[in-house]
Amino acid sequence: MTKNDFIEMKEVTFEDYKNFIKKTPEVTIENVKFKLGQKKEIKELQPRNFKIENSTVWSFPERGSWATHYLNSKYRGNWAPEIARNLIIKYTKEGDLVLDQMVGSGTTLIECKLLGRNGIGVDINPSSIMVTRDRLDFSLPENFPKSIQKTYIGDARNLNLIKNESIDFVLTHPPYANIISYSNNKIPGDLSSFRNLNSFINEMKKIAEESYRVLKKGKHCAILIGDTRRNKHYVPVAFRVMQAFLEAGFVLKEDIIKIQWNMKSTREKWGGNKYDFYLISHEHLFIFRKMEDGGKILKDSLKWW
């Protein structure tokens, strides 16, 4: 498939969302129903006891629930708001333009709104975009920085409405090769429906190339990705994805191990002594950089690789 085979981006505005919920007060993602347009019960707009991470191991046992994040607890596979907040604070400044091209339930854009970063959220699933728009439907006090959050139904492999080298930071959390099928195989091209690992990686290469195209030189791209097992053997999805981004031209700045805590039922049922393999309880958060010179300086200095 070429880029021309993928759907083109279509903006979904706040007005579009309001018109949508008049007729459709809920959407179904995977097998979970999400109600839209309900009154938000926001208790606080900022996290308590938040700290900037300073090592390559991150662990968030209690998922943050400030702003509208609490509404996303049933959206499987989304990342903790602490991850998005750490990354946005470290790699951007107020007014920067941030892209999440697989935005899901909107965690990244919620944090962009709270932190004064302009955001673009894209998702191939129209229902996910409506959930994102719903989560962005809350007001901020006057002392908060202003920002604009735009949402699009679209394909991460074809960001046709985003200009070359216009994005200050890319961060996203792709599906993990058919572990969770968000659209139940009903949306053509949905990455979460790919059952073959090689096919999944081929599509991730296209996403890596588009990420590289839209990102400004010298800026960063963050991808959270995990691994899986097939027939009791470890399948290194994360490292295959990392290689795809390296081949697109990025250089690797960080490999952060993120401990998985949102696996309560799995842990309770797990009996390691019954199996000849370990429970996978970590993900990789890769931070890539688009070098100003295409990576020549780094490559020349690391020829021993």
pLDDT in tens, 282-303: 999 999 999 987 665 555 555 5
Domain ranges in the chain? 8-36+64-301
> Average pLDDT in the 82-111 region?
97
User: Candidates 3.40.50.150, 3.90.800.10, 3.40.50.1000, 3.30.590.20; correct CATH number of 8-36+64-301?
Assistant: 3.40.50.150
Residue type, 39: K
Task: Report in angstroms the alpha-carbon separations of 286 from 121, 171, 217, 240, 283.
Answer: 20, 10, 18, 12, 10
**Res. 176 pLDDT band, cuts 50 70 90:** low
pTM (2 d.p.):
0.90
Residue 220: partners with Cβ closer than 8 Å, 6 or more residues away: 91, 169, 170, 253, 287, 288, 289, 290
Asked if residue 130 has pLDDT above 70, the reply is yes
Spatial distance between the Cα atoms of 239 and 225, rounded to a whole number of angstroms: 9
Highest-confidence segment of 96-105, 274-283, 294-303? 96-105
Of 41-45, 85-89, 185-189, 218-222, which gets the smallest average pLDDT?
185-189
